[in-house]
Structure 1
Amino acid sequence: MSELPEGLQEFLAEAGWGGAAVDPIPGDASFRRYFRVRRPDRSRAMLMHAPPPHEDPEPFLKVADWLNRHGMRAPEIFAADPAKGWVLLEDFGDDRMRDWLDAHPDREVPAYEGAIDTLVELHGRPAGPFADYDMPTYQREAGLFTEWYCPARGLDVDVAGYGEAWDAALAPMMPRQRNGVTVLRDYHAENIMLLGDPARRAPQGLIDFQDALVGHPAYDLVSLLQDARRDVSEELEAAMLARYCDRVEVDGDFAADYARLGAQRNAKIVGIFSRLHKRDGKPRYLDFIPRVWTAMERDLAHPALEPVAQWFAANVPDELRRSGGGKVA
């Protein structure tokens, strides 16, 4: 077992969980750590350690409270000490959508239907009290591509032109997200917990939502259906997108905005995965780049992305694009 963080046992004792067994859970791409906590009476909880200055649990607590108060299924918070980074929360069990589908690939369609229906429910609520997903945020995220991926590949690119291309591509979309929805921003199969009977479309548990903003409803659809960590066929993507559009009133620009946000998000992810390798020493994320790149190329083919597609044509070599981004050194 890896060493437990200082202050863990004291926090559990104050929360009424003193003497509980503590088992570390493999972490994600952040500085957060997770532990499963079990009492002798067999009750259990999850313990999150999100220590300052790298992490701040306050946004997680704020979004969890809002989601639960508006009929969604975020973990119940049992105890928290945000100043020290501790949060004790409800344990949603072991049926993470990604892992469950690895074991039950024949149940892919109903699992994704449940995920789509969860977004329909979320988007039917008034937007939460969160910051807007504004143009500077989109630009900052898209800029991770030129900041991290391009140097890692030794590419000397037109950074200013890249920003101008994104301005041109995203500007037509911005008025359509003024009356926005809550955007969880990392909604995909690794952050969805299947509750109740996983074989049915039971209510789905939400995790990893601390970066929520108010933005365009297509964003979390892209996150789910162009998953960086799991193959989602184009046929399933189209079917689930149609399911959403059948249940929510969308305008004639929705498909274009979906492509815009797909390209923006995928460019961001390529940059993030490159950063995780170069800065944080986590090379395993490089294996996901070809999948992300393939989805990004499909998005760039939409006419709404013409300015960005032209930038890619002028700045990223064809052989690199055809190889799914190539290998980052």
Structure 2
Amino acid sequence: MKVLLEDQRATELFAADLAELLKEGDVLALSGDLGTGKSTLSRALLRHLAADPHLEVPSPTFTLVQTYDLTRMPVAHFDLYRIEEPEELEELGLDEYLETGVALIEWPEMGDPSYWPEALDLKLIEGTEPDTREITLTANSESWQNRLDRLAARRALLKDAGWIDAEREHVQGDASMRTYFRLHKEGETVVFMDSPPTGPEPLLPSGKTYGETVHRAKDVTAFFAIGNALAEQGFRVPKRLAADPENGLALLEDFGDQIITENGEAVKERYELAIDDIARLHSCDWKTELHADGKTHQLKPCDFEVLITEADLYLQWYLPYANGKPATEQESKDYVEAWKDLLEPVLQSKPTLLLRDYHSPNIMWLPEETGLNKLGLIDYQDAMVGPAAYDVASLVYDARVDMPEDLQEHLLQRYCDLARKNKPIFDEMAFRNAVAVLALQRNAKILGAFVRLDKQLGKPKYMEMLPRIRNYVRQCFAQLGEVNLKPMFNVILSSKETRQSDS
């Protein structure tokens, strides 16, 4: 891959684009003659990762290595110009840095490439015009080749949309493979979304993958199609400003950073609007065949197979973590049968559009708008059709914030009052029971998913939320009483943990 960099600013923006692709264990081998811009690119890359345009980035020419303990990932900046033997790399601790972070190596030709066989090679040369530079990127691994292909697609969309010269700002993503960054230009901002197609997954005993079984979106068509349907019904979703659907890329309206929580606490008035919004959504008629960019997306049913597959994450990941041993075959059978008893009545209710992750990170607060337009919806690509109680459970038992029980009851009653107005017959007792059952199912899934994110994917931050989720599990059983599923959760119910935010 070759890129012409027209000036120093173009080099700095390219460095920001490259920084958005970095992962732990990466090596960037940066070569080029003196004055070709290696320091400019290195400095810009580090400043973008640090989210600090004024970060001091001294040259490691004399120290040989300069380290940066950044929030997103640690970076070690090497300059090998002065080393005499490649073996000195071992003394500099290259292997140690690559266990948790990224190595940026200038003058790699002075070292030994066998130390970084899968590095991304970058070579800078002067361009034919003054101040221009040409950078050639060579991938030495399939991972880097795939990322360079996405880098080319990203930059092509930015150029076509007129945003290639905008400042880049990293935006914290979610637990999925999607990534985001914000673009700033002439007082305007947009959000760049990269939603790659799902990669290969291991098969479950059913012969399907987890994603197929629980109806996770395979590509960006679902996001666009469901967004179109929501917008047609008057719900506030980000406008699509430009897109490359084939590559899962889009420039979207920027809803800002405010959500329905503030300083980590639930804001009552905002949650009331969220309940009003989801009640209106559940009162609408929805088609199950949706369209975007000439493609069709079929909304799938939230059935027992979906719910038990999700709930099984508790059995597969959380229970072994908590008990120190896996569940037995008999316990697994009892677990499934107990969930059947609880879920079958719930699944008899009339299905509606189910957003699936209707909680604070996905409900943006737009203070300049009025009425229900103060709420902006995002992250709805995995929507299904199923029981309305699921979305209410997602909100009332918000995984990302401590929800006071009086606020939970207030919101639940508010929804019931609205549902009674929208439906000729509304069984409040059955609905409340369904909320408790689906809240338990959802939090069982979350417990397992968060342990998996830590143990399998190296994302420990989600473990901090486990006390809150365990507290929600206790609340659910307090409402459901003596049900057959209860013994499987004794490891939580017998705990003396009392505070939601204990760690």
- What per-residue deviation string (whole Å, max 9, x for no partner) do you get for residues 106-148 of structure 1? x822111111111112112113421110110001000010111
Higher strand share: 2
Match of 1:248 among 419, 425, 439: 419
Any unmatched runs of 5+ in structure 2? 1-15, 22-150, 200-217, 289-298, 421-425, 499-503
Indicate how the Cα distance of structure 1 residues 166 and 25 shifts in structure 2: closer, same or farther if over 3 A, else same: same
2 CA distance for matches of 1:160 and 1:227? Answer: 29
Would you say the 8 A contact 2:279–2:415 is kept in 1?
A: yes
- What per-residue deviation string (whole Å, max 9, x for no partner) do you get for residues 277-296 of structure 1? 01110111011011011111
Indicate the residue corresponding to 1:327 in structure 2.
Answer: none
Match of 1:141 among 284, 296, 310: 310
- What per-residue deviation string (whole Å, max 9, x for no partner) do you get for residues 139-169 of structure 1? 1000010111122232332112111110111
Given the alignment of the two structures, is residue 160 of structure 1 paired with residue 319 of structure 2, yes or no?
Answer: no
Indicate the residue corresponding to 1:183 in structure 2.
Answer: 354
SS at match of 2:414: helix
1 CA distance for matches of 2:376 and 2:492? Answer: 42
1 CA distance for matches of 2:454 and 2:370? Answer: 36
Match of 2:255 among 92, 96, 99: 92
Would you say the 8 A contact 1:169–1:304 is kept in 2?
A: no
- What per-residue deviation string (whole Å, max 9, x for no partner) do you get for residues 210-241 of structure 1? 11011111111111111111011000000011
Would you say the 8 A contact 2:243–2:251 is kept in 1?
A: yes
Indicate the residue corresponding to 1:78 in structure 2.
Answer: 241
Would you say the 8 A contact 1:299–1:305 is kept in 2?
A: no
Indicate the residue corresponding to 2:386 in structure 1.
Answer: 215
Q: Which moved more, 1:269-278 or 1:246-255?
A: 246-255
Given the alignment of the two structures, is residue 48 of structure 1 paired with residue 193 of structure 2, yes or no?
Answer: yes
1:271 shift after superposition: 0.6
Indicate how the Cα distance of structure 1 residues 75 and 198 shifts in structure 2: closer, same or farther if over 3 A, else same: closer
Indicate the residue corresponding to 1:114 in structure 2.
Answer: 273
What is the one-letter code of the residue matched to 1:89? L
1:23 shift after superposition: 1.5
Indicate the residue corresponding to 1:26 in structure 2.
Answer: 172
Would you say the 8 A contact 1:50–1:86 is kept in 2?
A: yes
Given the alignment of the two structures, is residue 232 of structure 1 paired with residue 378 of structure 2, yes or no?
Answer: no
Indicate how the Cα distance of structure 1 residues 318 and 229 shifts in structure 2: closer, same or farther if over 3 A, else same: closer
Given the alignment of the two structures, is residue 296 of structure 1 paired with residue 473 of structure 2, yes or no?
Answer: yes
Please report the TM-score for the alignment, with normalisation by the length of structure 2: 0.59
SS at match of 1:175: coil
Would you say the 8 A contact 2:390–2:439 is kept in 1?
A: yes
Any unmatched runs of 5+ in structure 1? 325-329
What is the one-letter code of the residue matched to 1:95? Q
Indicate the residue corresponding to 2:12 in structure 1.
Answer: none
1 CA distance for matches of 2:465 and 2:309? Answer: 21
- What per-residue deviation string (whole Å, max 9, x for no partner) do you get for residues 26-80 of structure 1? 222111110111223x222111111233462221111111111111111111222
Query: Counterparts of 1:59-78 in structure 2 under 5 Å?
Result: 59-78=222-241
Higher helix share: 1
1:305 shift after superposition: 6.8
Report the number of matched residues: 316
- What per-residue deviation string (whole Å, max 9, x for no partner) do you get for residues 228-271 of structure 1? 11011000000011111111123131111111101100100001
What is the one-letter code of the residue matched to 1:289? L
Please report the TM-score for the alignment, with normalisation by the length of structure 1: 0.89
Percent identity, please.
36
Indicate the residue corresponding to 2:20 in structure 1.
Answer: 4
Q: What root-mean-square deviation, in Å, do the aligned CA atoms of Structure 1 and Structure 2 show?
A: 2.4
Indicate how the Cα distance of structure 1 residues 61 and 284 shifts in structure 2: closer, same or farther if over 3 A, else same: same
What is the one-letter code of the residue matched to 1:120? A
